[in-house]
Amino acid sequence: MNTPKSRTLSPERTHRKEMLLQVWLPVGLAVLALGTLAVFIVLAATRFSPVVSKASSVSIIFILVPFFIMGVFSAFLIGLAIFLVARLTRKIPPASKMVQAFFVVADHKVSQVTNRAATPFIKTRSLWAAVRKVFHRKR
């Protein structure tokens, strides 16, 4: 009884296939659509009557103004983020020194407690090893 093998793709190949369908295909279609729109606007501005040329100029303005506004808004947000990070950077060193000092003290205390807890076991094991060494010596 031979059963046909089911064809399963490796996770990497599945990921590449999904990336192609879910990311690159929509991006490619969007670039193609915007490129086609840009070509039609340029053709309309150069080949047709002055009315169409004026309408294409107005449509270019309507296309470019939102991009300009978003660019200025993005530049403002980036500048604000840089300013806030610079302010925050001045406040971090004193706070981090206090936190580091706390952890140094905590490390010291934990080391003391664990050393005290382990000392009886270490002494017992070393004494037992010495006894075994004395009585199990090869002659």
* 117-129 pLDDT tens trace: 999 999 999 999 9
The answer as to whether 74 is a domain residue is yes
Q: Do the domain assignments include residue 13?
A: no
CA distance 22 to 24: 6
Dihedral sign of CA atoms 66, 68, 74, 79 in order: negative
Average pLDDT, rounded, for the chain: 85
Q: What pLDDT is recorded for position 106?
A: 95
Is position 76 within any domain? yes
Instruction: Say if residues 41 and 59 touch (Cβ distance below 8 Å).
Output: yes
- Residue 29's domain comprises 20-135
- Specify the number of domains making up the chain: 1
Q: Do residues 45 and 57 lie in contact, with contact meaning Cβ atoms separated by under 8 Å?
A: yes
Sequential DSSP letters for 60-94:
HHHHHHHHHHHHHHHHHHHHHHHHHHHHHHHHHHH
pLDDT of residue 46 exceeding 80, the answer is no
pTM of the full structure: 0.37
